[in-house]
Structure 1
Amino acid sequence: MKFDGIDDRGQAVGDLHAALQASGVVGTWDWNPVSQRVRYDPGAAELLAGDAALAGRDLEFADAVAGIHPDDVPWMTQEVERAMQAGGLMLAEYRAGMLSGQTRWLLCRGRIFHDPRGRPVRSTGILIDITEVRTMDAGSVAPPSIGEPEAPLVRAADLCIALHGVVGESGSEALRGMTERLLLQIGREIARAERAAVPPTALH
């Protein structure tokens, strides 16, 4: 994950990274439907592409989903195509981490942006590890309990994802780093809310 400027405020990047991972946050992704390339931060690259060193690179779709469970790739691909045409919110749950041998359930929440002619030009979003609260065995496009339309955290995530996409178009790395950190923090709060909504017995 990238944490531009955090060192300047005296906060250890390693400590923040560990805290975010412990809360269930994985990272962020950026998909360009025009070039058909995906770009991950280190956390997302490790789980979805199988190699954290691929972070920041423009990956072809096949390489970008190499770490996703093979049973989930077909329907997830269809959902991505559907969401790209419809625009707006994209939400899915699927298994990843296959190349590392440690399967994790991820909540993928993103937003698709269209140009004035209605063509998809960009998609960006956040990934959250929901392994401990996931009870189904197959992938799903249905939102979890925290994903109610009126939930404040959900609205905050959607607005921040939209802001992150617009800032990305500006070319400002400083602003992009700020919105990315905000996205990760919102993801941390969503993961915390998910855990609070599940009875302790369901986590064992």
Structure 2
Amino acid sequence: MAERIRAFDWSRTPVGPIHDWPQSLRTAVGMLAAAPNPMVLLWGPEGVLIYNDGYARFAGRRHPELLGMGAREGWPEIADFNDGNIRRGLGGEAWSLRDQQLDLDRAGRPEPVWMDLDYAPVPDESGKPAGVMVFVTETTERVRAETLREQTNERLEIALSAGRGVGTWEWDLLTDRVVADARFAQIYGVDPTIARDGAPIAEFFKAMHPDDADRVGEEIARTVRTHEPFRAEYRLVQPDGEVRWVIAEGRIIADADGKAIRFPGVTFDTTDRREADAARAETATR
């Protein structure tokens, strides 16, 4: 970006020819051009956009036309937002916004974007603020992952509160550790302390009926591979020999690269339902 900035015809903008720039502007631009993280300088009341390579990647398809534009022209979908921030910065204020959501058109259509924004006024030779430096850290992937996890946990809590849930579990796919609550541990025949601290998934599969183990294993592998929702019904053999039916439901949580990293879910005891269905079927055949 440093070469692009030097070659740009700034005489067509309110900033004026680059050879006429004040030292304060040259210093600010030199600092942002050398920085690895996304930074953009909004210069003057128009907020003329001067930015670095990191911000160029952040801007997507808006780069390189964005360079030299006023903030209102460059980002019309957030014109009022930028106008207000430019006024604050030129008023000498420094501030930060965390996980700020904005709808930006970076790929041909508006999409929600979350970011941390840190603003600092940039003074001219007189000491009066002449521009605003903005440090941009996109947090979209983290916010989406946290939102998905909250929604998943909320659904699990609703299921449990309905009175039919056996318990919740979460499988860390990277370390092969399943953490589960006491209700889940009990029906799977695992020490609640071990389940609370985490154990390999094989520890919980020991109670699975041998006729179901291969099928369930294949269904789990398919979910990890495709990220499709998981749902499987199978039998668990209790320590006293009793066989209980359960339904396990869960979903994959992936990282920013799309790699499956966590597998949370809930298990329901369906034994009573199956016994009731069997009783009704027997009655109907008499």
What TM-score do you get using the length of structure 2 for normalisation? 0.39
Larger relative contact order (CA 8 Å, sep ≥ 6): 1
> Post-superposition shift, 1:75?
1.4
* 1:56 equivalenced with 2:135 (yes/no): no
* 1:201 equivalenced with 2:280 (yes/no): yes
Spell out, residue by residue over 1:89-136, the C-alpha distance to the aligned partner (whole angstroms, 9 max, x if none): 10000111433422110011111111222211101111111112237x
* 1:44 equivalenced with 2:184 (yes/no): yes
* 1:65 equivalenced with 2:205 (yes/no): yes
Residue in 2 that maps onto 1:111: 251
* 1:96 equivalenced with 2:236 (yes/no): yes
Structure 1 stretches lacking a partner, 5+ long: 1-19, 136-194
Structure 2 stretches lacking a partner, 5+ long: 1-159
* Identical columns (%): 31
What TM-score do you get using the length of structure 1 for normalisation? 0.53
CA distance in 1 between counterparts of 2:278 and 2:242 reads 24
Larger radius of gyration: 2
User: Aligned partner of 2:280: which letter?
Assistant: T
> Post-superposition shift, 1:21?
10
* 1:34 equivalenced with 2:113 (yes/no): no
SS of the aligned residue for 2:216 comes to helix
Distance 1:101 1:53, change over 3 A: farther
How many residue pairs get aligned? The number is 124
> Post-superposition shift, 1:70?
1.7
* 1:74 equivalenced with 2:153 (yes/no): no
Residue in 2 that maps onto 1:134: 274
Across the aligned residues of Structure 1 and Structure 2, the Cα RMSD in angstroms comes to: 2.9
